[in-house]
Structure 1
Amino acid sequence: MIHFIKIYFWILVPLLLISGVDIPVDPYKTIQHKIEITHPGEKEAVTIILIQNIDENGLPISYYMDVQSVICLEKVCKIIPVRIFWNDIGEYQKYELEEGATLEKYEDAVFESQDYLKLQTILANVNSPFKDVFIDEILTVVDKHSDEDTDAVSGATALELDEKDTVPGAALTCFTLWHWANGDIVQKIKEITGESVSEQQLKVFLVDENQAYFKIALHDLERRKNYTTPFIKVITKRVLEEEILLKSTFAYIEKAPANIYFSATEEVFVKGKTAQKLAAIRSLKLINYKVSSSYLDRLSNQIPKLSSYQEVSFFLDVIQAKNPISKKVVENVLPLLKSDFITARRAYWFLKNQQLSATQKELLQNFEKENKSSL
């Protein structure tokens, strides 16, 4: 119920401003950030002032930015200042207009109360169709005499959108504001939030249930070149529980010093499930660090615990690339000849290129005789 009330409040804010109702000002300290961002409606990067609100502890709370309601290349549009608000991880929250200001649609029609509500919904939809729309599609004027229905949703443009995805007659305004609210600024906000907090707060971010905080923390730890053990322990523990974080985690630890990288990767490989093991293997295959034979020998002790053909095959690929001759690996691979046939066949072809003892050769030859027609 509380969540519903909060959402309803943010939807009503633009309407309250239009009607002249006073909105209390948040008592936060503000910091101005002059940054450059791109907007698909602009030919060049735009310099803007982003305002950051911080609380009494110096922690970022929210952000806002003043923008123009439309990008009007023909200079014939009515341009209204719009203030857009985000939370501390760049999620759009609301928009506000100056007192008495109104947004306009095609042919001087003004927004009605339901249009302001719909605009709030449009801007809050990160998967809006405006994400993949080009401004030229909106600025292309249709021939009114050819098909009156073509123009029904988007005003005087040839763009066809479902009516639920735009304010009829105001596609350009929706396009402009959606990209201000959901474009490059989102990543900029995340970066500023990460840069604004202490290392202690980054530790809090790493365990927050919202994965956006985890990624913000990783990004700024990388910027700070911080790969210390306390952080690595928290990160590996989290990624062992949530495989969706593997990509961002390895992007971070692959830039760590070699000893930290190898230690963290081994922990993920040994303790992880299939997704974690595969991510560790892929990283080891591509990493520029020299991977020692002793390290791969140690990892090969996990071969009996690999639960899928893909894990086995990928791991043997790494061995062939990084540690092609190893008695220890051979010892750990030989038992795979008794696994399911697909895995056993992969082990067979690996062992064919290894230096084997007489006993090991005999085991391989026996496997070959039993499965000759299927190899």
Structure 2
Amino acid sequence: MLFIRSVILVIISFWGSAPGQWTDAAGPDIKTIAVTVDHPALEDGPEEMSLRQVFEGGASSYFFLEVESVLCADHICKVVPVRLFWDNYGRYKRYELEPGVELEKGEGLPFEKEDYEQLDRILANEESALRELSYADITQTKVHGEVDAMSGATALILSDQESIEGATWTCFTLWHWVHGEMKNKIREAYALTLEQRQLREMLDSKEEEMKLFAYESLAYREDLEEDTEWALLAQAPRLTLEEARIICTAQAKWPLDFRVQLSQSLLTNPAEAVRLISLETIDKNEQEEEFKPLLFDHLETISSLPEADKVLNILGRYGPLMSTEVDAMQEILKEKDLLITRRLFYFLQNQKLSASQQSVMDDFYRQNSHYL
């Protein structure tokens, strides 16, 4: 159950300058999807709700969800239904109220036109300060500096752009519905309506949000088409860090031969952070020998100590090196930055070395002992 202080009256929102608009919730072009979502004001945990997906011309167009204007358990608040709308990517579009329904703010005052417009702006702001507030912040404090004579609550100040005075609880409730778990539910639902061909086309979009969505959607797929695999291999050398995280997280469900190719392609990315993420993913592959050749190849091109350290840690778990592999590493001793060669020197010290290989190590030590 939800408990709010009697001094905090509840409000809710209506869409901009179009009072009375109310979209049909059923029809041949509307699909109802059962989703389970949480909200910071749901004391009893996640609830099952009916998300509606609207199709136009056979294609998904937008989503909407009917919620209560405020989550209020002790019946002090005026609670009315509000419909929240998102585009296919889970981005807020607008909100609606039933014709004749009004939202209220402090002391039972109805929303004015400016309040409805302000609520729309608040809900559109993904980075709102409401993100950082908790249920307790809203129900146990005042957020516009109002005096609470009954509780002596400490004031928590929000700007007029972040909330509507007397309606903060409504703003909080609706904002967290808009920008909470529902966004990912919408993106997942939209992805299911698309073929891999359509997702591949999105990979070349200039809109970063669309590209991220395509990578997320492909990450859910276990059976990638051959053209999709080629597209990902082509994109890997220029992935952003966020895109690389998505793809690397998904690799576990894909075939081993493709994972090896993808890792090899990711290791050519100019961003060190992307290469490190790829190495961390390889590190989780339980010593699969297929990755060993590409790690040796990468070691020859490395100019970063963190990368060299990660590669050597992985190689160390494959067991003793073959003699030819020791020879290859000793060639790198002659070429790399001192920090990298020092790390490599100590790695090779733990390997079984031939007499000639030990001689190389001794020479390196004599020349660089003051750095080792």
Query: What amino acid is aligned across from residue 332 of structure 1 in structure 2?
Result: A
1:26-72, Cα deviation, whole Å (9 max, x unpaired) = x992212122211211223222221111221x321111112111111
Distance change >3 Å, CA 158–CA 174, structure 1 → 2 = farther
Residue identity in the other structure for 2:300: P
Paired letter, 2:101: A
Question: Paired residue for 2:7?
Answer: none
Q: Within 1, Cα distance between the matches of 2:363 and 2:322?
A: 22
Query: Contact between 1:52 and 1:60, CA under 8 Å: does it hold in 2?
Result: yes
Give the deviation of 1:343 after TM superposition.
1.4
Is the alpha carbon distance of 1:23 and 1:165 closer, same or farther for their aligned partners in structure 2, counting shifts above 3 Å?
A: same
User: 1:254 matched to which residue of 2?
Assistant: 252
Counterpart of 1:87 in structure 2 is: 87
Residue number among 355, 359, 362 corresponding to 1:358 in the alignment: 355
How big is each residue's C-alpha offset from its partner over 1:178-219, in whole Å with a ceiling of 9 and x where there is no partner? 011111111110110011222322222333334444444444
C-alpha displacement of 1:342: 1.1
Question: What does residue 10 of structure 1 align with?
Answer: none
Deviation at 1:113, TM superposition (A): 2.4
1:1-375 equivalences in 2 (<5 Å): 14-18=15-19, 29-42=29-42, 43-56=44-57, 58-140=58-140, 149-151=145-147, 158=154, 160-163=156-159, 164-244=161-241, 245-270=243-268, 273-288=271-286, 290-292=287-289, 295-338=291-334, 339-375=336-372
Separation (CA, whole Å) in 1 of partners of 2:246 and 2:347: 32
Instruction: Confirm or deny: 8 A CA contact 1:297 1:329 kept in the other structure.
Output: no
- Say if 1:138 and 1:159, in contact at 8 Å, map to a contact too: no
**How far, CA to CA, are the matches of 1:272 and 1:231 in structure 2?**
23
Q: Distance in 2 between matches of 1:141 and 1:348?
A: 61
Other structure's SS at 2:274 match? helix
Q: 1:64 to 1:321 in 2, by over 3 A?
A: same
Percentage identity across aligned positions?
A: 25
One-letter code of the match for 2:48?
Answer: T
For residue 222 of structure 1, report the CA deviation from its aligned partner: 4.7
**Alignment check: 8 A CA contact 2:88 2:187 kept:** yes
Residues in 1 aligned to 2:172 and 2:220: alpha-carbon distance in whole angstroms? 33
2:11 is aligned to none
**C-alpha contact (below 8 Å) 1:115/1:167 kept by paired residues:** yes
Tell me how far apart the structure 2 counterparts of residues 368 and 333 of structure 1 sit (CA, whole Å): 15
User: Post-superposition shift, 1:150?
Assistant: 4.5
The worse-fitting range, judged by mean Cα deviation, of 325-334 and 205-214 is: 205-214
Contact 2:220 2:250 in 1 (8 A): no
- Range 162-171 or range 184-193, more displaced: 162-171
Structure 1 or 2: more helix by fraction: 1
Query: Larger deviation: 127-136 or 60-69?
Result: 127-136
Contact 2:34 2:50 in 1 (8 A): yes
Task: Give the whole-Å Cα distance in 1 for the aligned partners of 2:166 and 2:216.
Answer: 41
Deviations 1:341-371 (A, max 9, x none): 2112111111212233333322211121122
Give the residue type in structure 2 aligned to 1:72: C
Q: Gapped runs of 5+ residues in structure 1?
A: 1-12, 143-147
Cα deviation digits, residues 310-343 of structure 1 (max 9, x gap): 2222111111122431334323322333332211
Write the letter of the residue equivalent to 2:183: V
Judge conservation of contact 1:296–1:323 (CA < 8 Å) in 2: no
Contact 1:60 1:196 in 2 (8 A): yes
Normalised by the size of structure 1, how large is the TM-score? 0.84
Summarize the Cα distance change of 1:36–1:243 in structure 2 as closer, same or farther, 3 Å threshold.
same
Q: In structure 2, give the amino acid aligned to 1:280.
A: S
| CA displacement at 1:127 relative to structure 2 | 2.0
Letter in 1 for 2:105: K
Partner of 2:10: none
Tell me the matched-pair count: 351
Question: CA–CA distance in 2 between the matches of 1:140 and 1:276?
Answer: 44
**CA-atom RMSD, angstroms?**
2.9
Contact 1:268–1:276, Cα closer than 8 Å, also in 2? yes
Counterpart CA distance in 2 for 1:277 and 1:64 is: 40
Residues 128 and 295 (structure 1), Cα distance of their counterparts in 2 relative to 1, 3 Å cut: closer
CA distance 1:93–1:298, shift in 2 (3 Å): closer
Change (3 A) 1:119 1:295: closer
Query: What is the TM-score of this pair, normalised by structure 2?
Result: 0.84
Distance 1:161 1:332, change over 3 A: farther
2:221 & 2:64 partners in 1: Cα distance? 26
What do the CA deviations read for 1:216-238 (whole angstroms, capped 9, x no partner)? Answer: 44444454421333212212322
| Secondary structure, counterpart of 1:322 in structure 2 | coil
Deviation at 1:251, TM superposition (A): 1.1
The aligned amino acid for 2:135 is I
2:225 maps to amino acid: T
